[in-house]
Amino acid sequence: GNSVTQMEGPVTLSEEAFLTINCTYTATGYPSLFWYVQYPGEGLQLLLKATKADDKGSNKGFEATYRKETTSFHLEKGSVQVSDSAVYFCAREMKTSYDKVIFGPGTSLSVIP
Amino acid sequence: DVKVTQSSRYLVKRTGEKVFLECVQDMDHENMFWYRQDPGLGLRLIYFSYDVKMKEKGDIPEGYSVSREKKERFSLILESASTNQTSMYLCASRQGTGITYEQYFGPGTRLTVT
């Protein structure tokens, strides 16, 4: 099939803790992969992306590496801040006539001081 | 900065009403999308428009229609609202077709159908 699976949470961490949000996908071939973030009261915005195997996407201290062996794209950050509290969506490309994006269910993160 | 605006942040409608959700983008983007967001399901594509007056059904088009008479505006229409259409609706736009182009999202409209 063509799907994206991620841990649903909610995840609660203390400030400066290490963050991992797992994401795996099913696909034929090697689709581009994305992480989107949705801050409270806002729409989604692209956080980072990787377009081929072994690529590492990074932005705002977040990183994710495209692992084709494990079909995974886990999101990590070494030291989270209260301002990172948001919902995080893993997503993958699906080649159609209009290049569709398939989103995972989202993982809610709360960072407490 | 790209700006995608949606006409309402919160909307409450009664079963059977006709509902219009409006989305406007200010960056001359060709592609526009309507999604609904439900807990545990992520975002699901309702309709996509790749140009004025052009549209394609997404994954869950049943019960919805769309209109794109002008490039900057993409409307989602619920012909006869039902309680199972209570959800968060997100509009997005993209410069062109192709995964290299980023989707830009509006803040969402939370629709409640009673």
b/e map of B79-108 (b: 16 or more CB within 10 Å)? Answer: eebeeebbbbbbbbbbbebebeebbbbbbb
Check whether A2 has a pLDDT greater than 70.
Answer: no
**Alpha carbon distance, N-terminus to C-terminus of chain A:** 41
Q: How confident is the model at residue A1 (pLDDT cuts 50, 70, 90)?
A: low
> Quick one: average pLDDT of B31-38?
95
Q: Determine, for residues B99 and A41 on separate chains, whether the beta-carbon distance falls below 8 Å.
A: no
More confident residue, B75 or B51: B75
> Quick one: average pLDDT of B22-43?
93
User: Residue B61 class from Cβ within 10 Å (0-12 exposed, 13-18 middle, 19+ buried)?
Assistant: middle
- Is-contact A44 A37, C-beta < 8 A? yes
Report chain A's mean pLDDT, rounded to a whole number: 92
Give the distance from CA A19 to its chain's centroid: 12
> Quick one: average pLDDT of A85-107?
88
Check whether B98 has a pLDDT greater than 80.
Answer: no
Q: Determine, for residues A44 and B90 on separate chains, whether the beta-carbon distance falls below 8 Å.
A: yes
- Per-residue confidence (pLDDT) for residue B2, from 0 to 100: 66
Alpha carbons B94 and B104: distance in angstroms, whole number: 6
Using a CB-CB distance cutoff of 8 angstroms, which residues of chain A are in contact with residue B25?
Answer: none
b/e map of A24-51 (b: 16 or more CB within 10 Å)? Answer: bbebeebbbbbbbbbeeeebbebbbbbe
Q: Determine, for residues A101 and B4 on separate chains, whether the beta-carbon distance falls below 8 Å.
A: no
> Quick one: average pLDDT of B69-94?
96
Check whether A49 has a pLDDT greater than 90.
Answer: yes
Q: What are phi and psi of A73, to 5 degrees?
A: -155, 65
3-state DSSP call for residue A113? coil
Q: How confident is the model at residue B60 (pLDDT cuts 50, 70, 90)?
A: very high
More confident residue, B41 or B114: B114
Which single residue is written with the structure tokens 């975002």? B43
Check whether A95 has a pLDDT greater than 90.
Answer: no
Q: Which of A45, A93, A99 sits opposite B97 (nearest CB)?
A: A99
Say which residues have a Cβ less than 8 Å from residue B100's Cβ, sequence separation at least 6: none
Cis preceding linkage at B61, omega within 30: no
Chain B residue closest in CA terms to A106: B42
Count CB pairs under 8 A between chains A and B.
Answer: 50
- Is-contact B78 B19, C-beta < 8 A? yes
Chain B residue closest in CA terms to A94: B99
- Per-residue confidence (pLDDT) for residue A99, from 0 to 100: 78
Q: How confident is the model at residue A30 (pLDDT cuts 50, 70, 90)?
A: confident
- Is-contact A72 A6, C-beta < 8 A? no
**How close, in Å, is residue B89 to chain A by CA atoms?**
10
> Quick one: average pLDDT of B34-60?
92
Check whether B12 has a pLDDT greater than 70.
Answer: yes
> Quick one: average pLDDT of A106-112?
96
